[in-house]
Structure 1
Amino acid sequence: MKKLIIQSLFVVVALTGCVAKPDLSYLEPLHERKLRSLLIAPVKNETIDVMAPTSVLATLPFSLAEKGYYTFPVNTVKVLLEGEGYYEPAEVHAAPPESLAALFGADAILYVTIHEWTSEYVLLATTTIVDFEYKIVDSSGQLLWQARKELAYSPQQQNSTGNPLADLVAMAITAAIERAAPNYLPLTRTANGQVFNGIGTGLPPGPYSPAYDKYYKQVATDAKQTPTTN
């Protein structure tokens, strides 16, 4: 019995030591470029809500500034792009990224597409759903990074009083409020935060982040310690 327990412990330790580390190879193009400035392109909208792009665009500069990147003022970008004949986001997304980056002197361009921006009401529940696709392309046209994020928010499921009747009434009221005025902005900020900071999608800190120098020193140290293959 004692021998069996020891063997079991050995298996557990062995399995713990073999836990796979997250694949961070997607960061290599970003490490090579060390981006300083990002041009946020007008948001492309594939939904019927005409206000969706404005709401998404309003959240992106703050999310990227938190990571330490400089972003060009979105209103100035809009005016300058219109001066160049780009009035629709789809036109901007289809334009050569080299030309757009050169126009502003940007290191790279962030493109965001809204695939879903809805609030669904079923019985006593309202669920607000967003689905965004992100892509960063550098000034030479090379794709550096991409991600996609879908989130759902159901406020009526957040709290319970323990009283079934009271909970039912509260759910109906909360669902009605969410249906009348969907809470898109917090959900959008959360989506941005999870994409820009999440495992497998997070961006490295930009040059205006306090963590920048320490981060890239660690990247250089890791590169020296990684064995090369012929």
Structure 2
Amino acid sequence: MNTVRIVLVLTIAAALTGCMSFPYHDPLAAYHEVKPTSILVVPVVNESVDVQAPTSVLTTLPRLLGEKGYYVFPVNTVKTVLEYEGLYEPAEVHQVAPSELAGWFGADAILYVTIHEWTSRYIVVSTTTEVDFEYRIVDKNGVELWTARKSLSYTPQNEDSGGGMAGLLSMAITAAVERAAPNYLPLTREANAQVFYYDSPSLPPGPYSPVYEQYYQNLAEEKAAAEAN
């Protein structure tokens, strides 16, 4: 008898589950509602010991954002305006109310970037260069629209090193070159490209992108299909 009851309960539960419709979940609902046209890229906060890191990261951002279809305020203009307002340190800029920051430039959204790691580690006969960035976009009211974090590393491989002492010497030279001039910029560009284009959720295209209309049309169709099931 108990077995019959258990089977009956499971059957009813399965039937009810099949009839239930789950609401469409959009992880970027806030972003899709705001649909920013312009993005203000503010100075990068640096938690590494390399004083050149923020400048290197900052210079890689506008081009990719422009390619995604957004208007990006010129970095030098942003720096001049912020200094005019008495803001010289990135950490201070990040503490300013988003409404105030956006108001100075007429921006729809603000991109904050923090460098958590920017190092080159030398171990025996190899050098590994590592970066770790955190990205955050908020609208002019401070509402968080999109976040991402990316860690990447690069260890040069010497394919012609061969074996024996000659191979070790060649590897040591390759490692020394990488240590003297770490491959930061390619890693930085790759990190930006991955979070803007390939990671989930990637940054939606801006209004100046040729895929903008198609993107939002596909989004509307996905939502309609999900709600219909």
Q: Same fold (TM over 0.5)?
A: yes
Q: Deviations over 1:20-58 (max 9, x none)?
A: xxx973222211111111000100111111110000000
Once the two structures are TM-superposed, the CA of residue 162 in structure 1 deviates from its matched residue by 7.7
**C-alpha separation in 1, matches of 2:37 and 2:124:** 48
TM-score, with structure 2 as normaliser: 0.85
Matches within 5 A, 1:150-189: 150-155=151-156, 157=157, 159-161=158-160, 163-165=162-164, 166-189=166-189
Deviation at 1:226, TM superposition (A): 2.3
Q: Which residue in 2 is equivalent to 1:227?
A: 227
> 3-state DSSP class of the match of 1:25?
coil
Identity of aligned residues (%): 60
Deviates more, 1:167-176 or 1:211-220: 167-176
Unpaired runs of 5+ in structure 1? 1-22
Tell me the CA shift for residue 160 of structure 1.
2.6
Distance 1:112 1:228 in 2: 39
The secondary structure found in structure 1 opposite 2:114 is strand
1:67, CA displacement in angstroms? 1.1
TM-score by length of 1: 0.84
Structure 2 partner of 1:112: 113
Quote the offset at 1:85 in angstroms. 1.3
2-structure distance, mates of 1:172, 1:24 = 51
| Deviation (angstroms), 1:228 | 7.0
**8 A contact 2:161–2:171 mirrored in 1:** no
1:56–1:28 CA distance, 2 compared to 1 (3 A): same
Q: Which residue of 1 aligns with 2:17?
A: none
In structure 1, the residue corresponding to 2:227 is in which secondary structure?
Answer: coil
Letter in 2 for 1:112: V
- Residue 225 (structure 1) shift: 2.0
Determine the structure 1 residue equivalent to 2:143.
142
Secondary structure of the structure 2 residue equivalent to 1:226: helix
Counterpart contact for 1:24–1:200, Cα < 8 Å: no
Provide the residue aligned with 2:103 in structure 1. 102
List runs of 5+ in structure 2 lacking aligned partners. Answer: 1-23
- CA distance in 1 between partners of 2:142 and 2:36 (Å): 14
Task: State the SS of the aligned residue for 1:220.
Answer: helix
Aligned to 2:10: none
CA distance in 1, matches of 2:36, 2:56: 25
Q: Deviations for 1:112-150, whole angstroms, at most 9, x for unmatched residues?
A: 001111101010000001111100010111011111111
Kept in 1, the 8 Å contact 2:161–2:168? The answer is no
CA distance in 2, matches of 1:211, 1:149: 25
2:122 aligns with 121
**For residue 196 of structure 2, what is the amino acid of its counterpart?**
F
Match of 1:47 in 2: 48
Aligned length: 205
Cα RMSD after superposing both structures: 1.8
What is the alpha-carbon distance in structure 1 between the residues aligned to residue 115 and residue 162 of structure 2?
39
Distance in 2 (alpha carbons) for counterparts of 1:64 and 1:30: 15
